[in-house]
Amino acid sequence: MKKILLTIMVLALAIVAAACGKEEGASGSSNDVKTVKVGVSSGDTRTWEYIVDLAKEEGLNIELVTFNDYIQPNLALSEGVAYFDEFVQDQNLKLEAIGSTVIAPMGLYSKKHKDLKDLPDGATIAVPNEATNFGRALLLLQEAGLITLKEEFNGSGSLEIIKENPKNLKIQPVAAGNTPRLLDDADASAINNNFAVEAGLTLKDSLFHESKTAKPYINIIAVKKGNADRPELQKLVELYQSKEVESFIEKTFKGNTIPAYVSVDELVNYQDAWTKPAKEK
């Protein structure tokens, strides 16, 4: 069976790869079943497995291939992509988004305070120290109305990029895996979703968390340019954004993963979120 390599990617997070073609019958003639081969990063694949079953009813066969990290799926297709937009530009890759999926929200958690407004002046806030997640944490604090970032903020975190800090918060960068442990010492900690889940935290425990307005971190489906209009790939997006899948995600993940179905235009303009405080959105 001849297949054309495509890709499905997750912006700034996981990445997957895909291939598609017609299913061949026993006699060698093609039938009406389209096959989309989807590579997904290892971890919780329950949503994709659910979509596989739904797709069969729509005449679409999805094959899942699991990768052990975020880079391998793109190595299989485009010789190395870690973060979609950054690497599309740096490597001059011909990829485009065709749909959004979910966001696994970063949250601001605290053992010392019950409400965001209870954070005192001079409060210590632990954040991940890796540049991208540092930036994500700063954007979270901006969305919460605690700080304002300079206009030149480009998603990469540093203390120098903070424009206004009216509560004089003390931002403490630490290894991302240590952010839950800092809850015993800091006033609050910005924690990536995976580490929060490992620590037994849910979004309901957070003082504040990202929503689908955090467009830079919404997972996306993307393909090689020129393939966006292929019916089987549009069907894949339609299935992922269906009410059935939305309900499945909400029931299965109990709010720790949020369906974030926004338009492709919103995805393309995700950088708007970097310079617009929550009150301006």
Evaluate whether residue 263 is within a structural domain.
Answer: yes
Judgement on whether residues 226 and 250 belong to the same structural domain of the protein: yes
What's the structural domain count of the chain? 2
**pTM, to two decimals:** 0.72
Where a domain ends, among 210, 226, 261?
A: 210
Judgement on whether residues 99 and 150 belong to the same structural domain of the protein: no
pLDDT of 182 strictly over 50: yes
CATH number of the domain bearing residue 124: 3.40.190.10
Judgement on whether residues 175 and 234 belong to the same structural domain of the protein: no
Give the model's confidence band at 103: pLDDT under 50 very low, under 70 low, under 90 confident, else very high: confident
Where a domain ends, among 178, 210, 242?
A: 210
pLDDT of 270 strictly over 80: no
Instruction: Give residue-wise pLDDT tens across range 71-97.
Output: 444 433 332 232 466 556 655 656 777
Judgement on whether residues 219 and 206 belong to the same structural domain of the protein: no
pLDDT of 181 strictly over 50: yes
Range of the domain at 138: 107-210
Where a domain ends, among 154, 186, 210?
A: 210
Judgement on whether residues 37 and 96 belong to the same structural domain of the protein: yes
Residue with tokens 């079943």: 33
Judgement on whether residues 124 and 178 belong to the same structural domain of the protein: yes
Q: d(Cα 124, Cα 268) in Å, to the nearest integer?
A: 34
Residue with tokens 């019916």: 231
Pairing of strands 170-174, 124-128: parallel
Each as own residue / partner, the long-range contacts of residues 196-203 (CB below 8 Å, 24 or more positions apart, any chain) are 196/107, 196/109, 196/256, 197/256, 201/107, 201/109, 202/254, 202/255, 202/256, 203/105, 203/107, 203/255, 203/256
Instruction: Give residue-wise pLDDT tens across range 227-251.
Output: 888 888 899 999 999 999 999 999 9
| Three-state DSSP state, 61 | strand
Residue 44 vs residue 29, higher pLDDT: 44
CB 262, CB 212: distance < 8 Å: yes
**What's the whole-number mean pLDDT along residues 205-231?**
83
